[in-house]
Structure 1
Amino acid sequence: MALNDAGLRNANIREGGELDAINDAVSDPNGPDIIICDVTANTDEACEIFHGIRHNELGTNPFVCIIAVAWSPKQPLVNKVVDSGADLLVAAPISPSVILDRIDSLVHNRKPFVVTTDYVGPDRRFQKDRPSDVKHIDVPNSLRDKALGKFDAAALKERIRATRESIVGQKIDRHAFQVAYLADMITQEFKNDTAENASNQLRDPPNSRKKPLQWTLAKSRNSVHPSRRLLKS
């Protein structure tokens, strides 16, 4: 195993052949500092677990470091892993030097997290100079704390609690922004019609009104409005 070859002790490594092992590990109050998971065969299931961790639906630490591993990863798999909130995707096979380099990057240069309506995780932008109004969050990192000799269990627990509450608040703000934007789009469509057409749409059966509403929602999703950037940070 690459982790053993890299010099990490077996006592500090919990192995599992099934994805349920991740569920068990992160549910432990003294959960892992890093998860390394092969997502080649069970991409969807693994990404659902990563997503659940990041959205505080699974485990006790939404900010645990996550490295996904895949053999000959194709673009659809890459997209799923990136959108799941994992920190890194590494192509297998992995040498000891590669795994140590990736762990070192999570200790010293971990990407800040961002929050959107449907995503919590490392900033997915590859072009750092691309403008964005999404706030960066320096999340708790127990891997870094332990590597640098600064680990304090009580302090970590408090940072996790405070950061988790901050993220919940940001998600509410993002959803409110999206709802307000969609409401403005729908209102504008009615304003563009004559008063008579608008009242006719309201009187018609639901099926006859479905097309304009669907068109409005589709248009809002494809608009180059700042809210679109919230969906893909």
Structure 2
Amino acid sequence: MNKRDARIHIIVSEDGVRFLLRDLLRELGYTDIVLSGKFEAIRIAVTENKPDLLILGTSFPDGDALEMIADVRQGRLGKNPFLPMMAITLEPTSHLVKKVVNSGADDLLLYPLSLGHLEQRLDLLIDNRKKFLVTVDYAGPDRRSADSVREHSTSHLLFDAPNALRARVKNDMTDKEMQAAIARTVKAMDGHRADSYMRRICWFVDRIDAGYAWAGDGILEPEVSEFLENLLSTTKQALTVIDEKEQSVYHYLCSTVLTVTARLVKQGSEIEVKDRKVLVELSRAIKVALETDSGSEISRHIRDAVSKT
């Protein structure tokens, strides 16, 4: 193993924690270690320095490190959403542990920690890193139980995350190969995330249509108005992850859903029945697209169907 070449950034506000981690890592054979106690150093590390492992404190006076981890995982910060990241804390409250889990961090270290414990956690990250789960709300290690029946519990939605720390320590992948692996996996994950958004859009449309039917196209329950607002927000978010060229069908359908939903929100209880029907047809078209290898012919068919509504 070639631990000396692994680039590790320790960004922790507490001096004692920072220095202890450095000393323990040196004992384990890691020598390329960068220390900082400043919150802004997280952004610089991710976007410019590109470490192989990032160890972050959970307490900074001027920012939330766990939100930064989530931003990395969701692709909003840096170019590697799979960057190995550990958090460390002196006060592992239940609220903090939940935030760490939801952020997508690989692990949570508790201070004070021993040399043996740190070595064990690093070895796990190198040799047995958890597969990544990706939904519209989360990207990171899959920590669900084996018998989980929650949304997206099927194994085919899990990804082997390119592991920069393993590649550096094991020397089993070049930097060029790592970048290619990151690009491939990001593309695959974005495709699944787009599918997840489309399914959520259909779910909201079904609830909205049921609400309209129950109200007899009259005054709606407050929940329906909330569903409309959620549909508007979800569709906007979907358009941020859908590639207009490679996912032209999804992009067209989302853009049309956005237009129709905005009209329904504006209309309030004075709805146009035609707009409601168009929304339902768009949802049906999305369901067809989800089950079909959508090409230009499918795109034309869906557009024609919607235009005749």
Give the aligned residue type for 2:222: K
Please state whether the residue corresponding to 1:139 is helix, strand or coil.
Answer: coil
The separation in 1 between residues aligned to 2:190 and 2:129, in whole angstroms, is 21
Please tell me whether the aligned partners of residues 59 and 65 of structure 2 are also in contact (alpha carbons under 8 angstroms): no
The separation in 1 between residues aligned to 2:224 and 2:130, in whole angstroms, is 39
**Does residue 61 of the first structure (1) align with residue 83 of the second (2)?**
no
Partner of 1:204: none
Please tell me whether the aligned partners of residues 2 and 95 of structure 1 are also in contact (alpha carbons under 8 angstroms): no
Identity of aligned residues (%): 31
Partner of 2:147: 129
**Does residue 14 of the first structure (1) align with residue 34 of the second (2)?**
yes
**Does residue 23 of the first structure (1) align with residue 43 of the second (2)?**
yes
Alignment TM-score, normalising by the size of structure 2:
0.61
Deviations 1:129-178 (A, max 9, x none): 32423611001001111222213011000011111111111111111101
When the two chains are superposed, the root-mean-square deviation of aligned CA atoms in Å is 2.4
The separation in 1 between residues aligned to 2:102 and 2:181, in whole angstroms, is 24
Partner of 2:9: none
Please tell me whether the aligned partners of residues 40 and 69 of structure 1 are also in contact (alpha carbons under 8 angstroms): no
Greater Rg by CA: 2
Partner of 1:198: 216
How far has the Cα of 1:214 moved from its partner? 4.9
Deviations 1:76-131 (A, max 9, x none): 11111111110111211122221111110101111100111111111131x22324
Q: How many residues are aligned here?
A: 206
Please tell me whether the aligned partners of residues 133 and 139 of structure 2 are also in contact (alpha carbons under 8 angstroms): yes
Partner of 2:171: 149
The separation in 2 between residues aligned to 1:155 and 1:48, in whole angstroms, is 29
Deviations 1:38-82 (A, max 9, x none): 104569711111011111111221101111111121111111111
**Does residue 159 of the first structure (1) align with residue 181 of the second (2)?**
yes
The separation in 1 between residues aligned to 2:84 and 2:62, in whole angstroms, is 18
**Does residue 213 of the first structure (1) align with residue 224 of the second (2)?**
yes
Please tell me whether the aligned partners of residues 43 and 77 of structure 1 are also in contact (alpha carbons under 8 angstroms): no
RCO comparison, higher one (Cα < 8 Å, 6+): 1
Partner of 1:99: 118
Alignment TM-score, normalising by the size of structure 1:
0.80
The separation in 2 between residues aligned to 1:149 and 1:138, in whole angstroms, is 18
Give the aligned residue type for 2:39: L
Partner of 1:140: 162
